[in-house]
Amino acid sequence: MAKHTDSELRTESATSAGGVVYRHGEGGLEVVVCGRTGEGIWGLPKGTPEAGEDLTAVATREVREETGLEVAIQEKIGSISYWFVRKEEGVRYHKTVHHYLFVPTGGSTADHDQEYDRVEWVPVEEACRRLSYPNEVEIVRKASEMVGRRPANGAAGTNGATGGIEDEVARGETVVLRNKRIGDAEADYGWRQDPELATYDAAKPINTPFEDYLALYEDDLDNPSPFRHSFAMEDREGHHIGNVMVYNIDNLKYEAEVGITIGDRGYWGHGYGTDALRAFVRHLFANTTLTRLYLKTLDWNTRAQRCFEKAGFVRTGVSRRSNGTFVLMEVRKDGVDRRDGARS
């Protein structure tokens, strides 16, 4: 086989994805590590893309295969890069590995594939001692910090996990609102492409390639704006059915605009929107300095207007724009406080 000197090597890029699976054990936070005992190597589950896969799909598939666990992706932890050489190929590779945070939803580590011969749950500090590569140790430490801290990227000073599902911020009678995750991107992308849903927003469906959309999505999660924030809406069984948003946040006037999208048509007309808005409004008034929330909806969308009225919004006027005529509505904190006081 031909050998190549360093000066003859060509440079190529390589990509893989995987992540950290965590759970809360009796002694604290635990993560999954994978080992090859014959080589004395311990690492995190990861692998390379198959045709047509995006990074989150790669990471999820590889983690499932190499750990034996069914998993749900939450958010991106970060990425690491390094160089290695395959002289027999005449290539110097620059490899980037993207790591995501996962929670187990089923399966067993006994069902892992043959990539590793040992797959184990261990406490975080034990994982950091075992892992063979310092950059993976840093990924585990960052993952531990992400799990341990309360959500810090809420709008206008929002905080307030309610102690239910992971990243929960508010709960109604039928819905749960939580912080966004990278795993939401696929559904959100589909809803943004839907012509009917775009019509309700007086907008056009997006035609951005998913890879570009995902890159922007990840950047928004990693670098949240102080002036807008989105939350996922789930039913009580954990199905992601839509989103609520707060934006145009003005901390001098103590006001912001809100919006809602129910992307799953199976949940239209059953009160989920009203329940989500009530929970969202109470969350914002209780956990931020906002005292006024407002919105606009197309004048022909009477179903949305009824939903907003049931959630406590009142009409304040009409706005005519190039893309339609909008009904303006608002709700104020003192009005919500009075209604809640009357019920108690």
Cα gap 102→60, rounded to integer Å: 8
Alpha carbons within 13 A on the beta-carbon side of 294: 17
The pLDDT value given to residue 160:
38
- CB 207: neighbour CB atoms within 10 A? 7
CATH 3.90.79.10 positions along the chain are: 6-148
Q: How confident is the model at residue 157 (pLDDT cuts 50, 70, 90)?
A: very low
Which tokens sit at 140?
């585990």
> What average pLDDT does this structure show over 90-113?
90
> What average pLDDT does this structure show over 88-95?
85
Reply yes or no on whether the pLDDT at 120 is more than 90: yes
pLDDT in tens, 158-173: 443 344 455 889 999 9
Is the overall model pTM greater than 0.85, yes or no?
A: no
**Under 8 Å between Cβ of 221 and 75:** yes
- CB 190: neighbour CB atoms within 10 A? 12
Residues 6+ apart with CB under 8 A from 148: 29
Q: How confident is the model at residue 266 (pLDDT cuts 50, 70, 90)?
A: confident
The pLDDT value given to residue 6:
53
More confidently predicted of 330 and 167: 330
Q: How confident is the model at residue 274 (pLDDT cuts 50, 70, 90)?
A: very high
> Which residue, 297, 242, 298, is CA-closest to 270?
242
Pick the CATH number of 6-148 from 3.90.79.10, 3.50.50.60, 3.40.50.300, 3.30.1490.20: 3.90.79.10
Reply yes or no on whether the pLDDT at 300 is more than 50: yes
Residues 6+ apart with CB under 8 A from 55: 15, 17, 49, 98, 214
> What average pLDDT does this structure show over 173-199?
92
**pLDDT > 90 in the chain, percent:** 63
CATH of domain 155-343: 3.40.630.30
> What average pLDDT does this structure show over 98-122?
93
CATH 3.40.630.30 positions along the chain are: 155-343
pLDDT in tens, 287-298: 999 999 999 999
